[in-house]
Protein backbone atom coordinates (compact mmCIF):
# COMPACT_ATOMS: atom_id res chain seq x y z
CA UNK A 1 0.00 0.00 0.00
CA UNK A 2 1.28 3.45 -0.94
CA UNK A 3 1.67 5.06 2.48
CA UNK A 4 3.12 8.26 3.91
CA UNK A 5 6.27 7.51 5.86
CA UNK A 6 6.32 3.81 5.00
CA UNK A 7 9.35 2.03 6.45
CA UNK A 8 9.35 -0.74 3.85
CA UNK A 9 12.66 0.39 2.34
CA UNK A 10 14.20 0.78 5.80
CA UNK A 11 13.33 -2.63 7.27
CA UNK A 12 16.86 -4.01 7.00
CA UNK A 13 18.28 -0.85 8.57
CA UNK A 14 15.80 -1.00 11.46
CA UNK A 15 16.24 -4.71 12.13
CA UNK A 16 20.05 -4.55 11.97
CA UNK A 17 20.06 -1.55 14.31
CA UNK A 18 17.75 -3.27 16.82
CA UNK A 19 19.84 -6.44 16.82
CA UNK A 20 23.01 -4.39 17.20
CA UNK A 21 21.69 -3.08 20.52
CA UNK A 22 19.47 -5.88 21.83
CA UNK A 23 21.28 -8.91 20.36
CA UNK A 24 20.72 -11.20 17.40
CA UNK A 25 18.36 -13.58 19.21
CA UNK A 26 15.01 -11.86 19.78
CA UNK A 27 12.97 -15.00 20.41
CA UNK A 28 12.24 -14.17 24.06
CA UNK A 29 11.45 -10.48 23.42
CA UNK A 30 8.19 -8.55 23.36
CA UNK A 31 8.24 -6.05 20.49
CA UNK A 32 5.81 -3.14 20.38
CA UNK A 33 5.01 -1.14 17.25
CA UNK A 34 3.10 1.74 18.86
CA UNK A 35 2.33 3.84 15.74
CA UNK A 36 1.88 0.87 13.45
CA UNK A 37 0.36 2.35 10.29
CA UNK A 38 0.16 -0.48 7.75
CA UNK A 39 2.06 -2.70 10.21
CA UNK A 40 5.07 -3.25 7.98
CA UNK A 41 7.61 -3.05 10.85
CA UNK A 42 5.64 -5.26 13.23
CA UNK A 43 5.14 -7.76 10.41
CA UNK A 44 8.88 -7.94 9.78
CA UNK A 45 9.60 -8.69 13.45
CA UNK A 46 6.67 -11.08 13.96
CA UNK A 47 8.58 -14.29 13.04
CA UNK A 48 11.54 -13.43 15.27
CA UNK A 49 10.03 -12.31 18.59
CA UNK A 50 7.92 -13.89 21.32
CA UNK A 51 5.13 -11.34 20.95
CA UNK A 52 4.24 -8.32 18.85
CA UNK A 53 2.05 -5.57 20.27
CA UNK A 54 0.69 -3.39 17.46
CA UNK A 55 -1.31 -0.21 17.89
CA UNK A 56 -2.62 2.72 15.89
CA UNK A 57 -5.26 5.37 16.47
CA UNK A 58 -6.71 4.99 12.95
CA UNK A 59 -9.29 2.24 12.44
CA UNK A 60 -8.10 1.28 8.95
CA UNK A 61 -4.70 0.63 10.51
CA UNK A 62 -6.31 -1.48 13.22
CA UNK A 63 -7.99 -3.58 10.52
CA UNK A 64 -4.71 -4.18 8.69
CA UNK A 65 -2.79 -5.01 11.86
CA UNK A 66 -5.60 -7.14 13.27
CA UNK A 67 -5.11 -9.30 10.22
CA UNK A 68 -1.34 -9.18 9.65
CA UNK A 69 -0.33 -9.28 13.32
CA UNK A 70 -3.41 -10.62 15.11
CA UNK A 71 -4.16 -13.52 12.79
CA UNK A 72 -1.88 -16.36 13.68
CA UNK A 73 -3.55 -19.57 12.51
CA UNK A 74 -4.51 -20.98 9.12
CA UNK A 75 -7.78 -19.72 7.64
CA UNK A 76 -9.36 -21.34 4.58
CA UNK A 77 -10.30 -18.14 2.74
CA UNK A 78 -10.38 -19.03 -0.95
CA UNK A 79 -14.11 -19.77 -1.05
CA UNK A 80 -14.93 -16.42 0.60
CA UNK A 81 -12.71 -14.48 -1.79
CA UNK A 82 -14.22 -16.33 -4.75
CA UNK A 83 -17.77 -15.47 -3.67
CA UNK A 84 -16.93 -11.83 -3.06
CA UNK A 85 -15.18 -11.47 -6.41
CA UNK A 86 -18.34 -12.74 -8.15
CA UNK A 87 -20.47 -9.90 -6.77
CA UNK A 88 -21.58 -7.49 -9.49
CA UNK A 89 -21.98 -4.37 -7.38
CA UNK A 90 -24.54 -2.39 -5.41
CA UNK A 91 -25.32 1.32 -5.27
CA UNK A 92 -24.82 2.19 -1.62
CA UNK A 93 -22.77 4.57 0.58
CA UNK A 94 -19.43 4.58 -1.28
CA UNK A 95 -21.03 4.85 -4.71
CA UNK A 96 -23.48 7.54 -3.62
CA UNK A 97 -20.88 9.72 -1.90
CA UNK A 98 -17.53 9.06 -3.58
CA UNK A 99 -18.24 8.21 -7.24
CA UNK A 100 -19.12 10.53 -10.10
CA UNK A 101 -22.34 8.71 -10.91
CA UNK A 102 -23.59 9.07 -7.36
CA UNK A 103 -25.19 12.01 -5.62
CA UNK A 104 -21.99 13.93 -4.80
CA UNK A 105 -20.09 14.10 -8.11
CA UNK A 106 -16.88 13.11 -6.25
CA UNK A 107 -14.61 10.65 -8.05
CA UNK A 108 -12.44 8.68 -5.63
CA UNK A 109 -13.39 5.50 -7.50
CA UNK A 110 -14.92 4.59 -10.83
CA UNK A 111 -18.67 3.99 -10.65
CA UNK A 112 -18.15 0.26 -11.15
CA UNK A 113 -15.50 -0.04 -8.43
CA UNK A 114 -17.50 2.07 -6.01
CA UNK A 115 -20.44 -0.29 -6.42
CA UNK A 116 -18.17 -3.31 -6.00
CA UNK A 117 -16.71 -1.88 -2.78
CA UNK A 118 -20.25 -1.37 -1.45
CA UNK A 119 -21.41 -4.86 -2.40
CA UNK A 120 -18.32 -6.59 -0.98
CA UNK A 121 -18.32 -4.53 2.22
CA UNK A 122 -22.01 -5.19 2.88
CA UNK A 123 -21.57 -8.91 2.23
CA UNK A 124 -18.63 -9.16 4.63
CA UNK A 125 -20.69 -7.44 7.33
CA UNK A 126 -23.66 -9.70 6.67
CA UNK A 127 -21.52 -12.82 6.97
CA UNK A 128 -20.07 -11.59 10.26
CA UNK A 129 -23.34 -10.50 11.88
CA UNK A 130 -25.08 -13.75 10.89
CA UNK A 131 -22.21 -15.87 12.22
CA UNK A 132 -21.03 -17.33 8.93
CA UNK A 133 -17.52 -15.99 9.55
CA UNK A 134 -15.62 -15.40 12.79
CA UNK A 135 -13.61 -12.35 13.81
CA UNK A 136 -10.36 -13.64 12.29
CA UNK A 137 -11.93 -14.15 8.87
CA UNK A 138 -13.77 -10.82 9.16
CA UNK A 139 -10.59 -8.82 9.57
CA UNK A 140 -8.78 -10.85 6.93
CA UNK A 141 -11.50 -10.00 4.41
CA UNK A 142 -11.64 -6.34 5.46
CA UNK A 143 -7.86 -6.03 5.11
CA UNK A 144 -8.07 -7.63 1.67
CA UNK A 145 -10.78 -5.14 0.66
CA UNK A 146 -8.82 -2.10 1.91
CA UNK A 147 -5.77 -3.10 -0.08
CA UNK A 148 -7.83 -3.85 -3.19
CA UNK A 149 -9.64 -0.49 -2.94
CA UNK A 150 -6.37 1.37 -2.49
CA UNK A 151 -5.00 -0.13 -5.70
CA UNK A 152 -7.88 1.31 -7.78
CA UNK A 153 -8.32 4.64 -5.97
CA UNK A 154 -8.44 7.67 -8.25
CA UNK A 155 -5.94 9.77 -6.30
CA UNK A 156 -2.39 11.02 -6.81
CA UNK A 157 -1.23 9.37 -3.60
CA UNK A 158 -3.31 10.01 -0.47
CA UNK A 159 -7.03 10.69 -0.10
CA UNK A 160 -6.85 14.42 0.55
CA UNK A 161 -8.17 14.94 -2.99
CA UNK A 162 -9.33 12.96 -6.00
CA UNK A 163 -8.34 13.39 -9.64
CA UNK A 164 -10.61 15.12 -12.18
CA UNK A 165 -10.44 12.24 -14.64
CA UNK A 166 -10.01 8.53 -14.02
CA UNK A 167 -6.38 7.46 -14.27
CA UNK A 168 -5.50 4.12 -15.82
CA UNK A 169 -5.19 2.12 -12.60
CA UNK A 170 -8.53 3.49 -11.38
CA UNK A 171 -10.21 2.15 -14.53
CA UNK A 172 -9.17 -1.41 -13.74
CA UNK A 173 -11.80 -3.57 -12.05
CA UNK A 174 -11.35 -4.07 -8.31
CA UNK A 175 -10.25 -7.62 -7.51
CA UNK A 176 -9.86 -9.05 -4.03
CA UNK A 177 -6.52 -10.73 -3.43
CA UNK A 178 -5.68 -12.46 -0.14
CA UNK A 179 -4.07 -10.24 2.51
CA UNK A 180 -1.73 -13.06 3.48
CA UNK A 181 -0.23 -13.06 6.96
CA UNK A 182 2.53 -15.09 8.60
CA UNK A 183 1.67 -17.88 11.03
CA UNK A 184 3.92 -17.86 14.10
CA UNK A 185 3.91 -19.20 17.65
CA UNK A 186 3.46 -15.87 19.41
CA UNK A 187 0.33 -14.61 21.15
CA UNK A 188 0.21 -11.20 19.49
CA UNK A 189 -1.98 -8.26 20.49
CA UNK A 190 -3.47 -5.44 18.44
CA UNK A 191 -4.94 -2.19 19.77
CA UNK A 192 -6.81 0.82 18.40
CA UNK A 193 -5.95 3.40 21.07
CA UNK A 194 -4.22 6.70 21.69
CA UNK A 195 -0.54 5.79 22.05
CA UNK A 196 0.06 7.98 25.07
CA UNK A 197 -2.80 6.26 26.88
CA UNK A 198 -1.90 2.72 25.83
CA UNK A 199 1.75 3.09 26.89
CA UNK A 200 0.59 3.17 30.52
CA UNK A 201 -1.11 -0.24 30.13
CA UNK A 202 1.57 -2.30 28.37
CA UNK A 203 5.17 -3.36 28.93
CA UNK A 204 7.83 -5.31 27.12
CA UNK A 205 11.40 -5.30 25.83
CA UNK A 206 11.57 -3.35 22.56
CA UNK A 207 9.45 -0.27 21.86
CA UNK A 208 9.52 0.94 18.27
CA UNK A 209 8.14 4.42 17.67
CA UNK A 210 7.25 5.85 14.26
CA UNK A 211 4.95 8.78 15.05
CA UNK A 212 3.81 11.35 12.48
CA UNK A 213 6.69 13.69 11.64
CA UNK A 214 4.84 16.76 10.43
CA UNK A 215 1.49 18.56 10.37
CA UNK A 216 -0.19 16.10 7.97
CA UNK A 217 -2.94 14.32 9.88
CA UNK A 218 -3.29 10.68 8.87
CA UNK A 219 -7.02 10.71 9.68
CA UNK A 220 -7.56 13.30 6.95
CA UNK A 221 -5.15 11.82 4.41
CA UNK A 222 -6.65 8.34 4.72
CA UNK A 223 -10.27 9.18 5.55
CA UNK A 224 -11.51 7.06 2.65
CA UNK A 225 -9.92 3.91 4.09
CA UNK A 226 -11.50 4.63 7.48
CA UNK A 227 -14.88 5.02 5.80
CA UNK A 228 -14.61 1.68 4.01
CA UNK A 229 -13.32 -0.02 7.15
CA UNK A 230 -15.99 1.38 9.48
CA UNK A 231 -18.79 1.58 6.91
CA UNK A 232 -20.79 3.78 9.25
CA UNK A 233 -23.37 6.45 8.51
CA UNK A 234 -22.35 10.11 8.44
CA UNK A 235 -22.68 13.17 6.22
CA UNK A 236 -19.45 13.63 4.21
CA UNK A 237 -18.11 17.17 4.49
CA UNK A 238 -16.93 19.51 1.76
CA UNK A 239 -15.63 18.87 -1.73
CA UNK A 240 -13.49 15.90 -0.64
CA UNK A 241 -16.15 14.23 1.51
CA UNK A 242 -14.20 14.29 4.76
CA UNK A 243 -15.45 12.55 7.88
CA UNK A 244 -14.67 13.57 11.44
CA UNK A 245 -11.11 12.45 12.09
CA UNK A 246 -8.56 12.10 14.88
CA UNK A 247 -6.07 14.92 15.34
CA UNK A 248 -2.75 13.74 16.71
CA UNK A 249 -0.65 15.87 19.06
CA UNK A 250 2.37 14.53 17.16
CA UNK A 251 1.23 16.65 14.19
CA UNK A 252 1.02 19.86 16.25
CA UNK A 253 4.15 21.95 16.64
CA UNK A 254 3.07 23.30 20.02
CA UNK A 255 2.14 19.88 21.44
CA UNK A 256 4.54 17.31 19.99
CA UNK A 257 7.45 17.74 22.41
CA UNK A 258 5.22 17.49 25.47
CA UNK A 259 3.45 14.42 24.09
CA UNK A 260 6.75 12.75 23.17
CA UNK A 261 8.35 13.28 26.57
CA UNK A 262 5.25 11.98 28.33
CA UNK A 263 5.41 8.87 26.16
CA UNK A 264 9.09 8.20 26.91
CA UNK A 265 8.60 8.85 30.61
CA UNK A 266 5.68 6.42 30.91
CA UNK A 267 7.11 3.62 28.77
CA UNK A 268 7.95 0.35 30.52
CA UNK A 269 10.31 -1.01 27.87
CA UNK A 270 14.05 -1.64 28.16
CA UNK A 271 14.92 -0.46 24.65
CA UNK A 272 13.26 2.35 22.72
CA UNK A 273 13.87 3.02 19.02
CA UNK A 274 12.42 6.18 17.46
CA UNK A 275 12.28 6.62 13.70
CA UNK A 276 12.29 10.27 12.67
CA UNK A 277 13.73 12.23 9.78
CA UNK A 278 15.30 15.59 9.05
CA UNK A 279 11.95 17.07 7.96
CA UNK A 280 10.16 16.47 11.26
CA UNK A 281 8.57 18.93 13.71
CA UNK A 282 11.05 17.95 16.44
CA UNK A 283 14.72 18.67 15.88
CA UNK A 284 17.46 16.09 16.36
CA UNK A 285 18.79 18.09 19.33
CA UNK A 286 15.39 18.32 21.03
CA UNK A 287 14.81 14.56 20.71
CA UNK A 288 18.26 13.91 22.14
CA UNK A 289 17.62 16.26 25.07
CA UNK A 290 14.37 14.51 25.94
CA UNK A 291 15.60 10.95 25.60
CA UNK A 292 18.86 11.54 27.49
CA UNK A 293 16.85 12.34 30.61
CA UNK A 294 15.66 8.75 30.82
CA UNK A 295 18.71 6.60 30.10
CA UNK A 296 21.58 5.87 27.74
CA UNK A 297 21.13 7.55 24.36
CA UNK A 298 22.54 6.82 20.90
CA UNK A 299 21.76 7.74 17.31
CA UNK A 300 22.21 6.01 13.96
CA UNK A 301 21.27 7.44 10.56
CA UNK A 302 20.85 6.38 6.98
CA UNK A 303 20.17 8.24 3.75
CA UNK A 304 17.56 6.90 1.37
CA UNK A 305 15.49 7.95 -1.61
CA UNK A 306 11.93 8.72 -0.64
CA UNK A 307 9.29 9.16 -3.33
CA UNK A 308 6.75 11.95 -3.20
CA UNK A 309 3.65 11.75 -5.36
CA UNK A 310 2.85 14.79 -7.48
CA UNK A 311 -0.76 15.88 -7.59
CA UNK A 312 -1.15 14.98 -11.25
CA UNK A 313 -3.36 12.57 -13.06
CA UNK A 314 -0.34 10.57 -14.15
CA UNK A 315 0.79 10.05 -10.57
CA UNK A 316 4.35 11.06 -11.39
CA UNK A 317 6.91 10.73 -8.65
CA UNK A 318 9.87 12.82 -7.57
CA UNK A 319 12.80 11.22 -5.81
CA UNK A 320 13.68 13.03 -2.61
CA UNK A 321 16.83 12.34 -0.63
CA UNK A 322 15.99 12.07 3.05
CA UNK A 323 18.03 11.33 6.15
CA UNK A 324 16.32 8.86 8.47
CA UNK A 325 17.26 9.08 12.13
CA UNK A 326 16.92 6.12 14.47
CA UNK A 327 17.17 7.46 18.00
CA UNK A 328 18.00 4.77 20.58
CA UNK A 329 17.36 4.78 24.31
CA UNK A 330 18.25 2.12 26.87
CA UNK A 331 16.16 2.89 29.93
Cα 2 to Cα 292: distance, rounded to the nearest angstrom: 34
Q: Is the pLDDT at 317 greater than 60, yes or no?
A: no
* Residue 315 scores a pLDDT above 80: no
Question: What is the pLDDT at residue 266?
Answer: 98
The residues near 257 (Cβ < 8 Å, ≥ 6 apart) are: 282, 286, 290
Report the candidate in 81, 186, 235 with the shortest Cα–Cα distance to residue 143: 81
78 pLDDT band, cuts 50/70/90, is very high
**What is the model's pLDDT at position 306?**
60
Check whether 320 has a pLDDT greater than 90.
Answer: no
pLDDT (tens digit per residue) in 225-234? 999 999 999 9
- Give 128-154 pLDDT, tens digit per residue: 999 999 999 999 999 999 999 999 999
pLDDT band at 305 (very low <50, low <70, confident <90, very high): low
What is the pLDDT of the chain when averaged over all its residues? 93
The pLDDT, as a whole number, for residue 311 is 44
Pick the more confident residue, 320 or 100: 100
pLDDT digits (tens, 9 = 90+) for 189-207: 999 999 999 999 999 999 9
Closest CA to 244 of 37, 3, 56, 58: 58
Residue 312 has pLDDT above 90, yes or no: no
CA distances from 224 to 18, 47, 249, 261, 302 (A): 34, 31, 22, 32, 33
- pLDDT for the residue numbered 1: 81
Q: How far apart are CA 145 and CA 143, in angstroms?
A: 5
Q: What is the mean pLDDT of residues 288-317?
A: 74
Residue 278 is predicted with a pLDDT of 85
Region 299-308: what's the mean pLDDT? 77
pLDDT, one tens digit per residue, over 156-186 is 989 999 999 999 999 999 999 999 999 998 8
Amino acid sequence: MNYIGSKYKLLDFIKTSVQGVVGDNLSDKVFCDLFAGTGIVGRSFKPYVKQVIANDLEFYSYVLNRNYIGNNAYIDTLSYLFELNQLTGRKAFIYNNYCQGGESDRQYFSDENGQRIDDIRLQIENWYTTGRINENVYFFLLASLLEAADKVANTASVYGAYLKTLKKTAQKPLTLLPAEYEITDGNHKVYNKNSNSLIKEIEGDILYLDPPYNARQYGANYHMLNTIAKYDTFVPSGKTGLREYNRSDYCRKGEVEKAFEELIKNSKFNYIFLSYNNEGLMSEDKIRQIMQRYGKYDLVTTAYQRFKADKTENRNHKASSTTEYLHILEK
